[in-house]
Structure 1
């Protein structure tokens, strides 16, 4: 009597693990951002720009209060007013940090390795955005603190540092810098060139709004108010004209999300 043994079926393959995939991508991007010199140079450049710009603006404010022309008198002002004005130039160091997180990989070709390790291009961009925000928020607080430490002694009796308002302004500076840093990252994913991305950002944040306002046309003024640089400015200054700070923050956030979505679409459409 012959007995037959049923063939053994292979055990079903275990489902692929999906938990921790984003965490791994974030960990990889965190390692990369701190392992390149451009990050350290960008942070150092931001610190130097903040110190120099805040000091210079504080000198202008103190001199305006002490010259012979009473029309120039600015009176006593919060030190963070000077810091907020200094952000206009300091932000470009943070923009460089954000855009280089993408463009440096395209330049060196390491973006191919990144995409092989994490095939989901949306996940790659999200991980880069989270790491950029995680770096620029504390960096923004530090840069704002440097501005206060430099501008305060220069202003002397013409400057005040109310604790609650100062902390609020420093947090606003950190949030603004984080958003524009991530915006730069998303735009860099579309353009893939550090120089081109920086030019577009400079035009969008500084040149175009000023040019539109020079024409003194109401409709163009409204367009300028909706651009990311102006929206961020209204958020930082806390004024109510033409809209409150919360609307400025919402507009800047919308621009940042739009840049990330455009970057994700560009990464999915084109080869690395």
Structure 2
């Protein structure tokens, strides 16, 4: 799953008049001329379908099995889809990571920086294209998970159109913002393996470790992490409102992008 800078994309960037418009056109073309994009989106779709089917079946089983003491009862169908994001998000994040680290792996980053010398413009163009693709993809993933979970849940599922639309939009927003964040991390680390490992530790492992501690300070730190804020944004049941959760995500993303641009400006490709 590597990426190469297509000469066609560079010609498109030139034909678009250069500047940010040309950079956006080039990044858009590069993203859709590599197979990893299609495999990644298809993989995310298959994974969320499989996870939602399993989670819906487990919910039904827990409600009907007499041996289970704590039964979930009737649940919102769209909550099944948002609950599957803990695993699905890493497939989506891999797409954003490869937009920058794949070019370092193949050496095509040299051509990219020759055509788009301003480092900030180059990374900002990648971030804009990543968000533009992943936001609607996240919305569709949320809707797909809800659709497959609904018939399995049966009477144990509550389908509310407002909840479905809200959760799908929040899923797309969360994945889009997190993808831009991880793109900035990828620009700093320049390695697919290192960035994926960092994402897993920072998004999955660290919040769980801090949340299970007995220290109030560590619990407060956990609440300020991007994945925790994202969970509160999706579920709406955190210690702070959704607007604050989004602000926390935005702050982390801005910091990651600043770090990525700073590293690009001070280290030669």
TM-score (norm 2): 0.92
From 231, 241, 244, the equivalent of 2:241 is 244
* Matches for 1:107-256 after TM superposition, within 5 Å: 107-239=105-237, 241-256=238-253
Distance 2:132 2:48 in 1: 20
Q: Is the 8 A contact 2:143 2:164 kept in 1?
A: no
Tell me, which stretches of 5 or more residues in structure 2 are unaligned?
Answer: 1-16
Shift of residue 76, structure 1, vs aligned partner:
1.1
Shift of residue 72, structure 1, vs aligned partner:
2.4
Shift of residue 212, structure 1, vs aligned partner:
1.3
Q: Is the 8 A contact 2:223 2:229 kept in 1?
A: yes
- Cα deviation digits, residues 27-52 of structure 1 (max 9, x gap): 00000001111111110111111011
Shift of residue 213, structure 1, vs aligned partner:
2.1
| Counterpart in the other structure of 2:81 | 83
| Counterpart in the other structure of 1:73 | 71
Secondary structure of the structure 2 residue equivalent to 1:74: coil
Secondary structure of the structure 2 residue equivalent to 1:35: coil
Moved more, 219-228 or 243-252: 243-252
| Counterpart in the other structure of 1:259 | 256
- Cα deviation digits, residues 135-178 of structure 1 (max 9, x gap): 10111011111101111111111112211121011000000010
Distance 1:113 1:213 in 2: 44
Distance 2:245 2:69 in 1: 31
Distance 1:155 1:138 in 2: 26
Moved more, 244-253 or 21-30: 244-253
- Cα deviation digits, residues 70-99 of structure 1 (max 9, x gap): 632211111111111101110001110000
Distance 1:169 1:71 in 2: 29
Secondary structure of the structure 2 residue equivalent to 1:68: coil
Residues paired across the two proteins, number: 254
Shift of residue 20, structure 1, vs aligned partner:
5.4
TM-score (norm 1): 0.91
* Aligned structure 1 segments of 4 or more residues deviating by more than 3 angstroms: none
| Counterpart in the other structure of 2:266 | 269
Tell me, which stretches of 5 or more residues in structure 1 are unaligned?
Answer: 1-18
For the aligned residue pairs, the C-alpha RMSD in angstroms reads 1.3
Larger Rg: 1
Moved more, 124-133 or 67-76: 67-76
Closer, same or farther: CA 20–108 of 1 in aligned 2, 3 Å: closer
